């Protein structure tokens, strides 16, 4: 069986909307990781100090045949295709352990 990890990086506070849109019987789990942004849309300064916006990263594990459906749901939930709204990508996984079939 082939699995895919769907990775979504959004501004802090939007991950709940992403998580709700990705939650379905085809997704096995979701993990949220905190981070800081350094993309070209985020280089801002205040009083000559660089601001690094807080980001949240959602990792979702699913079977490869269900990944397109989940990606489309996330795209609709946060308008991810608009510049500066985040990044979404899928990674094919060779080995997955710990999932009960």
Domain limits at 54? Answer: 3-93
In a domain, 54, yes or no: yes
- Nearest one of 21, 57, 22 to 37, comparing CA atoms: 57
In a domain, 84, yes or no: yes
In a domain, 13, yes or no: yes
CA dihedral 8, 11, 14, 15 (to 10 degrees): 40
pTM summary value: 0.79
20 strand-pairing partners: none
Query: How many domains does the chain contain in total?
Result: 1
HSE-CB for 41 with a 13 A CA cutoff: 8
Q: Per-residue confidence of the chain (101 residues) as pLDDT tens digits? A: 789 999 999 988 888 888 888 887 777 778 898 887 665 555 566 566 656 678 899 999 999 999 999 999 999 999 998 888 899 999 999 998 887 66
| CA 98 – CA 101 distance, rounded (Å) | 9
**Helices 67-78 and 15-22: angle between axes, nearest 10 degrees:** 150
Whole-number pLDDT of residue 75 = 93
């Amino acid at each position: 069986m082939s699995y895919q990890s769907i990775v979504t990086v959004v501004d802090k506070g939007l991950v709940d909307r992403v998580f709700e849109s990705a939650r379905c019987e085809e997704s096995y789990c979701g993990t949220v990781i905190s981070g800081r942004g350094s993309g070209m849309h985020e280089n801002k300064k205040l009083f000559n100090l660089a601001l690094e916006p807080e980001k949240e990263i959602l990792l979702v594990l699913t079977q490869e045949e269900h990944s397109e459906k989940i990606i489309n749901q996330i795209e609709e939930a946060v308008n991810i295709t608009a510049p500066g709204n985040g990044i979404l990508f899928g990674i094919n996984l060779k080995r997955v352990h710990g999932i009960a079939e």
